[in-house]
Amino acid sequence: MSIQRRRRKASPVHTVRGSVAFEAKMQGREAGYHGGYEDGYVRGRADVIASRPAEVFPFRQMHVLYVTSGKGYPYSPLDEAIAATLRTQVAEVTVIEPGQPIAEMAIQMKPDLVLGLDGMYLPNEQIDAVRENGIRTAIWLTDDPYYTDMTTQSVTHYDYVFTLESNCIPLYKELGCVNVHHLPFAAYTGHYHPLKTPSPVRREISFIGSAYWNRVNFLSPIMGNLMQHNTMVNGIWWDRLPEYGLYQHKIELNKWMGPEDTAAAYNSSKIVINLHRSHEDDSVNNNAIKIPAGSPNPRTFEISACATLQLSDSRDDLTKFYTPGVEIETYSSPQELLEKVEYYLTHEKERCEIALNALQRTYRDHTYNNRIHEMLSIIFP
């Protein structure tokens, strides 16, 4: 018996649906292709920039006794960056904790410089004893202007004061400090750099940091709009958000991220938001005279070192380090932040160019090699 197979004639409805599905599939494939191409192109250019030979700074035949902050994380990555960089620029580096007998060790080792980070746990009488023996001393302050109630009690005990906040310079000079210099932190490229391979977890928008009240109040009106995108927030206190329950699946609450995880998050994001803390928040600050904050935070340089577009709130000193619209983007209101987020998520080429410009500027001007060289040039001209 022969069996005849009859071909079913496709109906117009099936034909239209099939065409739409096929077209959508092709559009998705094309978008994926272009997205992958763009990502590979940017990573390739970023790798070229990051792989260029770094500037060679003078090597000094001297001994630096470096006293760490003693505070652990999140200060320990700063200690690591400074100590590692010092080792590339001076002949000998000794690293000790503030609880050790600093004066006794300095008198015994006779270093050319005793350098302390933060200094909150560093007894003033120890520094006085070091200076009495003719050894130069310097302090690099980490949190100006937020803890000036405490830093004003210690800065006069050092030969050189370096602060990341330019607005603190007049205050310290009024106290009698002769050598006060603005020296912000930087990007330690051992931690923060472009990754050659994409992260398996991709983000459109990232914010990493503590939920200080000024951040909560600023972001709350637009949080719903931001969360409509592939947005992730990391840090403590974000359950302060009025509608935290709606967004908690996109918030990694109370997670302290080390440099490696933070850099990976920056690399995997199209946009990273930087919103500085307020100098007027008495719930966390010790800044009774309300010295205003005008200088960029360390995160400014670390984000830029990962070849990622940074949207930062405007600060007076920011233009000394990056050119807005060329190497960074700024905002002054929640609405402006939201508008720029929407714009750069749909203008890929412009977003990538700014990110790459930021990377180039950071690797050229804003690494710890730059900062340590500047510090040593001031102390040992």
Asked if residue 294 and residue 170 are part of one domain, the reply reads no
Phi, psi of 39 (to 5 degrees): -60, -45
Range of the domain at 305: 203-365
- How distant is the alpha carbon of residue 194 from its chain centre? 13
CA distance 330 to 323: 10
Q: Residue 54 contacts by C-beta under 8 Å, 6 or more apart in sequence?
A: 363, 367, 369
pLDDT band at 18 (very low <50, low <70, confident <90, very high): low
Domain assignment of residue 246, yes or no: yes
The pLDDT tens digits for 324-333 are 999 999 999 9
The pLDDT tens digits for 49-91 are 999 999 999 999 999 999 999 999 899 999 999 999 999 999 9
C-alpha to C-alpha distances, 127 to 74, 93, 313, nearest whole angstrom = 24, 18, 38
Asked if residue 308 and residue 171 are part of one domain, the reply reads no
SS3 124: helix
Asked if residue 242 and residue 127 are part of one domain, the reply reads no
Asked if residue 100 and residue 137 are part of one domain, the reply reads yes
pLDDT of residue 3: 42
pLDDT of residue 222: 98
C-alpha to C-alpha distances, 241 to 73, 246, 247, 276, nearest whole angstrom = 25, 10, 9, 17
- H-helix or E-strand containing 22? helix 12-51
Short-list 182, 230, 236, CA closest to 213: 236
The pLDDT tens digits for 178-221 are 999 999 999 999 999 999 887 777 999 999 999 999 999 999 99
Ordered strands of the 309-313 beta sheet: 251-253, 231-235, 203-208, 269-274, 309-313, 329-331
Question: What CATH number is associated with residue 210?
Answer: 3.40.50.2000
DSSP state letter for 198: -
Asked if residue 373 and residue 360 are part of one domain, the reply reads no
* Residue 347 pLDDT exceeds 80: yes
The pLDDT tens digits for 265-321 are 999 999 999 999 999 999 999 999 999 999 999 999 999 999 999 999 999 999 999
pLDDT of residue 378: 98
CB 211 within 8 A of CB 236: yes
Exposure b/e, 64-80, CB count within 10 A at least 16 = b: bbbbbbbbeebbebbbb
Question: What CATH number is associated with residue 180?
Answer: 3.40.50.11930
Neighbours of 164 (CB within 10 A): 23
Average pLDDT of the residues of the chain: 92
Domain assignment of residue 50, yes or no: no
Domain assignment of residue 15, yes or no: no
The pLDDT tens digits for 21-49 are 556 455 545 544 455 556 788 889 999 99
Domain assignment of residue 345, yes or no: yes
Peptide bond before 74: cis, by omega within 30 degrees of 0? yes
pLDDT of residue 109: 97
pLDDT of residue 32: 45
Domain assignment of residue 322, yes or no: yes
Asked if residue 211 and residue 113 are part of one domain, the reply reads no
Percent of the chain predicted with pLDDT > 70: 90
Q: What is the pTM of this model?
A: 0.89
- How distant is the alpha carbon of residue 5 from its chain centre? 69
Asked if residue 182 and residue 208 are part of one domain, the reply reads no
pLDDT band at 238 (very low <50, low <70, confident <90, very high): very high
Asked if residue 215 and residue 159 are part of one domain, the reply reads no
DSSP state letter for 248: G
CB 313 within 8 A of CB 332: yes
Mean pLDDT of all residues in 93-106: 97
Mean pLDDT of all residues in 142-158: 98
3-state secondary structure 131-180: HHCCCEEEEEECCCCCCHHHHCCCHHHCCEEEECCHHHHHHHHHCCCCEE
Asked if residue 340 and residue 230 are part of one domain, the reply reads yes
CB 165 within 8 A of CB 290: no
Percent of the chain predicted with pLDDT > 90: 86
pLDDT of residue 7: 44
Residue type, 223: M
CB 140 within 8 A of CB 120: no
How many domains are contained in the chain?
2
Asked if residue 354 and residue 217 are part of one domain, the reply reads yes
Short-list 173, 180, 153, CA closest to 288: 153
Domain assignment of residue 44, yes or no: no
Asked if residue 289 and residue 246 are part of one domain, the reply reads yes
Domain assignment of residue 308, yes or no: yes
Asked if residue 218 and residue 69 are part of one domain, the reply reads no
DSSP state letter for 236: S
Domain assignment of residue 155, yes or no: yes
